Amino acid sequence: MGQRSIAIAGCGIGGLAAALLLARAGERVVIFERFEAPRPLGSGLMIQPTGLAVLAQLGLADRVRREGARVDRLFGKAAGRVVLDVSYAAMTRAERYGIGIHRTSLFAMLHDTVAAQGVPIRTGRTVAGSKLDSGGRALLFANGSSSESFDLVIDCLGTRSTLTPPTGHELAYVALWASLDWPDDCGLDPPHPSQRYHRSSRMAGVLPLGTGSGTGKRAAFFWSLKGGDLTAWRDAGLERCKRDVLALWPECASFLDQITTEEQLTFARYAHRTLPRPAEERLIHIGDAWHSASPQLGQGANMALLDAWALATGLSRHETVGPALAEAVALRRRHVRLYQWLTWLFTPVYQSDSRMLPFVRDRLVGPISKLWPATAIQAAMVSGLIGDPLRALGLEEFLATGEPETMAACS
């Protein structure tokens, strides 16, 4: 099979993973990035067994475990009632767990490995579109210039990609994130993700992030609010916001004490969208460019890693780009549809203006979810394993043992 030229638009988690997989498979890969220096956006994220399976194939699983924080349980309360209690131990097959990690740490390890692989990254290129020509597909940039033609363009530009038609809708609730030290006196020991809710209209949470490349434990703290209330929140001031959070969750005072300026907070909007046609002629959209949803199930980075693996698998099996893209989409479509539906279903239970949904959640769903088989179903859903995505992608060794041997590229 001859070497193909591949352009990757976007230097995020999915783009870097795809670049590494394809470069190791012998493809000629170039990444285009709008920033002058590639950098991650956002705070913490959860690596689930699905994403860890791909990172293991890239030889990065041990570093993720070392720099991140192992998560065995997710916990949440509303008005003193336990309404979320998900234990990975409820899955009785191989050992399962999540890993909380700062996006900067995951980005750095992928970026370092891509650089060591010799993949060029062309910075300062804001992608505005693409065009087909006799030589393949070229990227068009905001300054009016264009790239050379490539055999394939991979869109990793995220929810607001300029390479996709408008689709889906912005979600009403947004989040404010802060990366903080994990206080020894916070009362959350052992560290695990924890959340507090007032109905479904207010939510605060803490996610352990491990130590990264340093020595001290880190955490991501987040506070959700309606996007339309952001201006009023800013007008009220940071101290008013902190008082509101403390009224909901007094035990998080040692986290809030570390937030002294608004600049420490990262503002994040979310959208629910799914492209009906994720592949076109010499173009494929992966990660949030194909499918995005609320962060309630924490699947974004993991889904992008699975998409990258599926694409590399399809390209390894077909010399012609068209059939390769069709196989990549087929390998992922069922799992994508399933999780898009699940996030659409569950998001209003935790983030909406409804009074009835949190009432049912707190008094009916919460107690039932502590009973088998609901415990196992919840754990499988949070871990990303509903729909058996690893078997479909040829990663059943990880599904069986959780500790596969690393590989240079997909088989």
Q: Tokens 């997989």, residue?
A: 21
Distances (CA, A) of 319 to 22, 136, 152, 316: 14, 15, 12, 8
Beta bridge mates, 28: 5
What residues have CB less than 8 Å from 189, skipping those under 6 apart?
A: none
Contact (Cβ atoms closer than 8 angstroms) between residue 362 and residue 199: no
Predicted local confidence at residue 2, as pLDDT: 65
Q: How many angstroms from the chain centroid is the CA of residue 325?
A: 22
Predicted local confidence at residue 213, as pLDDT: 84
Beta bridge mates, 178: 221
Distances (CA, A) of 348 to 23, 80, 83, 296, 341: 41, 20, 14, 10, 12
Mapped onto helix, strand or coil, the DSSP state of residue 386 is coil
CATH number of 5-168+271-401: 3.50.50.60
* pTM of the predicted protein model: 0.95
What residues have CB less than 8 Å from 104, skipping those under 6 apart?
A: 40, 212
Predicted local confidence at residue 401, as pLDDT: 58
Predicted local confidence at residue 403, as pLDDT: 57
The parts of the chain modelled with pLDDT lower than 50 are 404-411
Mapped onto helix, strand or coil, the DSSP state of residue 376 is helix
Tell whether the torsion through CA atoms of 60, 287, 333 and 193 is positive or negative: positive
Q: For the chain, how big is the Rg over CA atoms in Å?
A: 21
CA–CA dist 69, 398 (Å, integer): 20
Kind and range of the H or E run holding 121:
strand 121-122
